[in-house]
Structures are given as C-alpha cells and as structure tokens.
Structure 1
Amino acid sequence: MKDQKSEIIYIGKAKNLKNRVTSYFRESADHTPKVASMVEHVYDYDFIVTDSEYEALVLECSLIKQHQPKYNILLKDDKGYTYLCFSEEPYPRLTVEKNKKKAGTYLGPYMSGYVAREAAKEANRVFQLPTCRKRFPEDFKKTRPCLNYHIKQCMGVCRGCISQKDYAEVIQQAKAYIQMGSTDSVKRMQEEMERAAEALDFERAAMLRDRIAAVTKAGETQKIMDAALEEADVIAMAEHMGTQCVSILRYRGRRLFDKETFFFQENASREEVMDSYLTQYYEHHRGEIPKNIVLEFAMPDPEMYEQLFTNFAGRRVHITVPQRGMLCQFVQLSRNNANEELAIRFNRTGREVQALEELGAVLGLPQPPQYIEAYDISNLSSTSMVCGMVVFENGRPLKKAYKRFRMKEHVTQDDYACMKEALTRRLKHYLAQDEEGFSRLPDLILLDGGQGHVNTIAPVISGFGLHIPVFGMVKDQKHRTRAISSAGGEISLSANRSAFHLLTQIQDEVHRYSVAYMHSIHVKSSYQMELTKVRGIGEKKAQKLLLRFKTLVNLKQATLEELETTAGINRTTAEELYGVIQEMTGGNSTG
C-alpha cells in the first residue's frame, strides 16, 4: 500500500490477495483505528505473486526490513547493549562494558544488562579473578592481600605467586564457562584434572577439583533446561492497557544466558504481533538462532515458520508449544518477565498485570479486561432491595465510579428481576449520557450469581445492541469464590492463582458494598417510620428531613426553626417532632 507520495506505508501477504485487498475498502468494514487510518492514506498499491505461502512469508519479511512501513508492526530496537570484556593486559580482568572503547576481548552483546552483570559476577567468583584496582605485575607484593583472598573470593594475584601462563589458562576456562555453560566447562576441566593426576601434578589436580566444585555449585543456581534441549529461546507475551510486551529468555548450554524484551502498541491480535516479532527478530539475529524455539501459543502453519528459521540459521530449527511438563514452567517464567516489565512501565504490580492476563485468557476474551464492573443484589427479608455496582480498573478498585441502585420496579425478593432492572437502568444511562460514571462501557461484567443470572442479563445487553462479555461469580457453601459461570456452564480458576485472587477480591468488594448500602437504607427506613408517628408528619416530610440532615446526629442538633422550615410544619408539630427525635437518639428533650 502506498500514499500520495508513492511511499510504502503497509506490506502484507495473503493466500487470496484479491479478497484481502478488497476487505480494506468495503463500506461496512469494521476496522481497528490503525487500519482505518491506513485506509484513509492509501492512494495506490502494488503486488508480487509468489509460488507458495513460504515464499510470500520470506518476501514480506525482507520487504518490511527494507522499507520499514508506517502501518506494519515494527520491531523497534533502540536500546543499548552490554558486553563482557576481558581486558588486554598481562593479567586480564573481567568487566561489564557499555561499548567497545576499551582494548580487550569482548563477549556479547547482551541485551539485558542485569544478565551481563550477573554473568561477570558469577565468573569472577567461581574462578577467583581479581576485582580490585591494583595493577599487575607492577603491584606484586606491595601490600597484603585483601579480604576477598582470605574468604576465597580471589586467587591472590597480588602475592606474585601465579605465573602469567597459569593465569591465562584460568582466563580461558572463564571464557569457556561463560560461552558454553557449566556442563561443558566441567567436562573440559575434568579431563585436565585427570591428566594432571596421571602426571603426578597433584597440586594442579587439587586446584582443578576445587574449581570444578565451584562451577558445579554455581550451575545448580541456574535454571536447568531439559537435557534434550541444549539451547533454546523461550518466548511469551503479556498485554496491559493496549501495550504488548514480548519477552525472550535465551538459554545456552542448558542455562539462562540472556533476556530481552520488546514493547508494541498495536491494536492487533496476539498472533499478528507474534508473527511480526518472530520474523523480524530472527531476520536481524540470523547467527544467534538456537536449535529450539519454545512459544507460549501455537502460530498458524508452524511448519512454514520452522522452514523460514531453518533457512535463516542454515541448520535445522524446531518450534515447540508445550502443553505440560518442565517446558511449561519456562514459558511461565518468560511470561512473568513480560508481566513485570509491563508492571514497571505502568506503575502496577506484576501480580495485577498477570491476573488480568490470566482472567482474559480463561474467559476467552480478545484482550485482558482493563475496566470491569461487578453487580450484587442485597436485601433484608424482601425489604430494602438494592444493587451495588463496583468498578475495577487495571486490577484495582476505582471507588469514584461505584454506583448504587435502589429497586423501583421490584420491591420483593427476586434476584433475577432486580439484577435485570439494575443493568437496564445502567445501560440506559450510558445511551443517554446523562450521568457521569456511566459514560464508559466495561470490558467485562461480573454478576454475583450463577448461570441463571448470566442467562437473564445477556439478553438485556444484546437488546441494547451492545456486546459486553457477561459471567457469574459462583460461591461455595462457605460463601467463598469457587468458579466463574458462563451461559454454557462453569469455568474453574483453580489453576490460575492470580486471576482467582482478583476474582475473589472483586466478589468480596461488591458484596461488602451492596450489603453496606442495604443496611443504610434499612436504618433510614426505620427512622423514617419513627418520624411518621408524629401527627402531621407523612412519608414525604420525613424523607425531606432525612435528606436535609442526612444523619441522626445532625437531626438531633437541629433547632425548632430548622425543623419547621425543612418539613413545612407549625410550631406545635415541630416541638412534638423534636421530642421524638431526642428519644430516637437517646437524648433528653429540653424544650
């Protein structure tokens, strides 16, 4: 797709290109804001016919990389990279560097500075490399060894007892450890230790034995991969407030080697975002494609993607979507990283982001629900029938948006009818735009009840021409959250801990809010009945008094003149009313 300046603004592929292109220009097309904006700027288009879907995928990837069209999902890579540097000096040091200005041998780049720092810290500790500022061999034996030497965190180069050749060998072992992981390093040092023992060089053999023990212990703290997967990228995705975060954990030598995250703000499906991410990322990193790519969810035609990445890497690449077992734990770890990155960006907690992700996935929603409304009916023996509405925005209560409904049409105990009345009034307010707080539609409606409540409310929503997902919150015999109810049955949340906690919090909050409102209505009704016992005070005058003074404390402090004016009564009636009020509040009438 091209604009009036003949600049390419979008590149896409399709099995049937005619149907794909014409779909953009139908009058009734329900486009996302991004696609609608693109269509407005399309002035011309061009196409290339290929022999297969695979060729189309390769060509699309290449052209997007070349032209960087405005309306494609683009992999924006503007972050700095971190390197591990072995300095160029007689006794090299291992440090973390942001660039390659210093002379030395570099490993990397590492996308995650944290991972690079942890790798350097671990290698320095395992191989007891010096981290002080002394210069060698100039500073040999000038001062005593530091504390690190005495606690066996440094080999004590400053003592001058280690030859440059032996130190260089240790540096090579440290490089191999960083590049290949603990398994290969231990294997190589094991062979060296056996050769030293055969040569009767027991001092060297003992040193290698201790080093093997240190490497093995450090390796145990790493997340160990399945033995069948020597190297893999584990990729998962999270979404919050219209922003998607893709996290990639890179495992090499069966240990965590690096981490990288990318953010997108696209009104597109998870599959579309992942498709663009995978093709562009591995196009940029052809030399770093591992043997295995582990994905959170299946892509359409995974064999085609395997062929593409195999072509990029020049060797066989496998794509795996685990359903159970150890690999699922690694996928969850990657997803947790994505959730935490989003939480930092939006000043939320990782649990809140993860809860919305899980809830949206379990309920089959296209996106995590950011704005949730929950409803609960409360009454006391068929009196004081009320409905409470609470709102959760981005996983937190939005108390300024809470609403209360006092039943007008149904004053008897009928939860279904009362819930229907409350939702009908709420949606009428939305269509009329006549009250603040009702102008926004929720992404999800939760009802305190089961399948019957859902079947009652779903037709109400569709009757207004709206499409809002509706589910019920089911409790057990102990009044605790048990499951979610849909029109087709119940959905268990036991396996989704964060979503379960969020649902419990919502259900407890809406119950608390509706019961509190019911009690306040019941108390006011009781007081109103007491006021109507005074001759000349009817329901309307009693209601005026309660609305004017709001609390009994204020009502007790009211003067006779205020009672006369508010209720529109004479002095004699006001004096009688004053006495009743004092008795209601436990006071004494003073005339």
Structure 2
Amino acid sequence: MREENPHLIAVEASVKHLPKLPGVYIMKDAQGEVIYVGKAKSLRDRVRTYFSGGDGRYSIQYILARIATLEKIVTENEQQAFALESDLIKKFKPRYNIRLKDDKAYLHVRIDENVAWPRLELVRRIDNDGAKYFGPYTFSYELRTLLEVIKKVVPLRTCTDTVFYNRQRPCLEYQIKRCAGPCCIEIDRDDYMEWVDQAVSVLEGNTKPLVTALKREMDRASAELRFEDAGVYRDRIDILENFSTRHQYVTSIGENRDVFALYREETLVALTVLQVRNGRIIGSQNFSFSEAAMPDEALMESVLWQYYDSSREVPEEILLPFEVEGMKTLRGALKERRGRALQLVVPKRGIKFRLLGLAELNAKEHFISTFHAEARYQSVAQDLATLCRLTQMPRRIECVDISNFQGGSIVGALVCFYDGRPSKNDYRRYNISQQGKPDDFGAIYEVVLRRLQSGVEKDNLPDLLVIDGGKGQLAKALEARDELGIALDIISLAKMKTQNAEHQSDQVEKSPERIFLEGESEAHPLAPDAQTTHFMQTLRDEVHRFVITFHRKKRTQVSHRSVLDEIPGVGRERKGRLLKEFGSVSAMKDVPVEEIARVGRMTKALAQKIVDAVSHDSD
C-alpha cells in the first residue's frame, strides 16, 4: 500500500499530532478532493485505526490508496461532531461516505405557519426553512386523495402567493365553499389559524379533533335553523369518518414512531423507514446503497443522523433492529433536535416487533426491486460493451439530442442513466449559440464540447456517450472530443427506417435501429427483441422527451416576447401592469406619455421610449 501511495507515510506520521478530543477528520486525495469525512470521540485514536488494521471495513484499502492529506476540526462534544460530519458530507459528497439521498419521486406536504395566510403545498424537497413538512408519501394518488379530503372540510387557500396578492375578487374555490377567500374577504386570522391546526391534525393522521369541532358547528347550525350550513358540516363529517375507517390502526394507543430496518447481501443494502402517526402507518421511504462496506451498526448510525438532519419531524419513538454505535450520543443529539425526550428502542416482542418485521419485509422487497434490476442491467452493459467494442463496462451512460423548428429556438439536451436507471439530477439542457438556420451537426458539436469541458473540470465524464443521429452527428461529437484530447467511448444511435418494398409499392419495409461506431462506415443493426435494444430505445426516447419539452418551453417564451422586452428598465412587473391596463402593446401607441408613466410607475423619459418603440414596431 505504501509503495502505491507516496503520501501515505507522511499522513500516517501526522496522526500522532492529532488531539485526543472529539471532532471531525477530513481525508483528501492528491487533487484536493474530499474522499472521506468521519467523526470521532477521540480524533487521534479513531484515525489511528485506519493504519493499524483496527478498522476492517472493505473501503479502507481504497481510502488509503488515495489519501494525500488529512485535516481536522475539533468540536466541543460528540453531538457537535455528529452535526458537523453530516454538514460536511452534504457539502463535499465524499466518494467513500454513505450518503442518504431522497428519491425525487417522493412527495411531501409543506405548510409554513409563519406567513399570514398559510396554505398546503406539494413539494419534493425538504428545506430547513422553518416550515412544517409531512411525508414522504410513496404514492402520489394517496397523497392527492388526502389533500382532497382536507380541501373539502377545511377552507384554506390553495393559490400561490403571486395569485393571492394580485386577486381582486374571490375565485371559484370560494364560491363552492372550499376556501374562505382571505385574498379579498376580511376574515379573522385566529379562525384561519384554527383551520390550519385542523389540517395539520389530519395530516398527522388524527381526525378526531376536527370531527368533534364539525359536530359542534353542525349542532349549533341546526339549533339556529341554519339547515343548509348544518348539511355542509354533516357532509364534511361523513368525508372524514369514511377516510378514517380506510386507514387501519396498527396500535391501540396511537403513538408516533419511525421504524427502521435494512436488508443486506454483501455490500448491497436496502433500507426502509415506516412512518407511524397516531397509530397508523401513513407512509414509507426506501433507500439503497451499493457500496456499503461498513458494519450495519455504523451504517444505521450514519443513516439516522442524516435522515433527521433536516426539517423532518423527530417522533417520540424510533424503532431499530439492533443497537447502533454511539447510541447514547445519538439519543442526546436527536433529543436536542426534537426539543424534548424520545426513545430509541430495539423491540423483541409485541406490536413493536411486528412493526419491525413489516419494515424488514419492505426493505427486502426494495432490495429485490432495486438490485435485481441492477443485475439485469449488468447483462445489458456486458452485451453493449461487446457489441460496441467499448473500453470499459458502461455504468454511467449519457445521451444527447437536438431539437429545432425551421432553425429557430435550437436547443440541445442530455440525459444520464446510471446502472440502467435515470439519474435526473444529472440531466442537462443547452441553449445553442448559433440560431437562425437548422444545423444539427453544429449543435451536436457545441453540446458535446460544453458537456465534456464540464466533465473534465468536475471529473464526472460518462463511461459512454450516445448521440441521437447517424454518421454525421457522430463525426461532430468525435471532433469535439478530440479537440479536448480526452479518451471517451462515443457511439450514435440511428432510428428505424421505413421505405416502400422494391417491387410492391403498397408494402412498407422496416430496417432495424442501428448504431454507428467510431472508425466504421457501416452501421450495426440491433436485434429487435434484444434487451440491449430495448435499453437503447428507452435511453433515446427519454432524451427525445426531455429535449422536446425544453424546446416547446423555449418556443412559448419566444412567442410571448414583445417590444417591451427589448427596452431597458421595463421588467416583468412593469410589463404586466401595462398590459393589464391597456390590453396589448399596439394599444399603447395612442396613449399619452403621462398615462403610460402613471400606470407603469416610471419616469416620463422611460414612458417616451416605450411610446417610440411601440410606434416604430407598428409601422
């Protein structure tokens, strides 16, 4: 090992200078990239285990092969080290740390009680912004059904802030009694915040307080002979009670708890979190790790801290399949985050043990769906490497496509698949610099050049780059690659061709999809039913969908542009006020300068520029 890494001796010698204090250690490679971040009760004792053989994790050999420098940050206690380690992992994304990544498919409900008139929002990311978040919800249908129930019984606003603060009369939601109309109607904020509390109770799985309140209002309405209002309350009660009976209790008391479980095969791990609120399972979340060489106890400890290091609610009880490392310190850190006591429990019998078994079953199912799919992709990757004579097995594959309409709004897009699955965080869109004429070849050259330049700088080049097109597009992509002097496998994928049969004009012949390889003039046909063909079609269809969506958006933006967009000092807000008042750009031609200045809240000089520009545009 020391022969392979010339920096290792110096790093090992520096360990004796580390203090026996709690803190975080940061390991970097020769390029200064952070490759691992760890926490320790005693920095010197912990880091020493890397070199003495006391740490038996499989990944240690790779860390030692790359480490060039070692840095430290001393903290006051272990809990501070926990928090700092998590922050640094998020910041640097070290290669050899376990990182808990939320699936973008999971939806959450966000409600910010710090604003004047809160509303329920659907979001896919949790921010540490002081708002409350509920979820994740694995199935969007389940979540939308829940929100529909809340909308029918709690009259909260649903519009965005932009619509809310610019509305001049109540919308349809107000007319059908699904919104109190705080945008235009004067209502008591205390009453509104009581409705917010009722909505939060439903999201937490507790419908009883709201049902009780609605029954009280129904009885009062009946006593006052307001039978129509009483009927509205009755219908809302029925909706809530029907919703409640469809969600079976899993405990008799109604506790709030999260249940963690994992399933492992060698370094492949799947982990599931079941969320139980008021005695009901309201959601679950799954994670997977493909290089989890650390022991289960250390992995679970890392997952727990990262999972709750956000705006996620920390429940009163967390069920675990086994004791984790630093249990006491972790409990203290989570207690501090929650603001009151909580329990970390390893159940051995009873309902809690059954919940743990259910979580473990879900973890195993997630493992099968995740890693068995990866195993299938390994076969695809092997076939692809053989067929295309690639220099390596492709794990990260990217595909480029171009879209234009008569030379206008030319755009490019790139999608990324990792181990056979879309990696949407790595999708990219490109505005092409040369507009005005349809030049797919030039656009391919520009997109590939920009992507590879970025890849060299960020050290995230793909294993294989696929170009949607034929020989010409492949040639331009290779030209861009060679200009940068890098080694990278690039192929192009040409669509299926159809043509009339040679002797029977009423019949159509279809030629299979083809790939073009570097240095070869003839295309290689793909077998129609091969798994490799299906994968390549999926890749091509995804980039096509992505680029077309981007292109349509760009064309819409262009079509909505006007002469006002070309005048310095006329932003979106001023433009909106002018169009709202006068109806169209052409209508401003005969409007006095003073009136334009008043409506647009601008100087007469700027208003004169608008009149001049509008008059010139109309000529």
Q: Please identify the structure whose Cα radius of gyration is greater.
A: 1
- TM-score computed with the length of structure 2 as normaliser: 0.42
- TM-score computed with the length of structure 1 as normaliser: 0.44
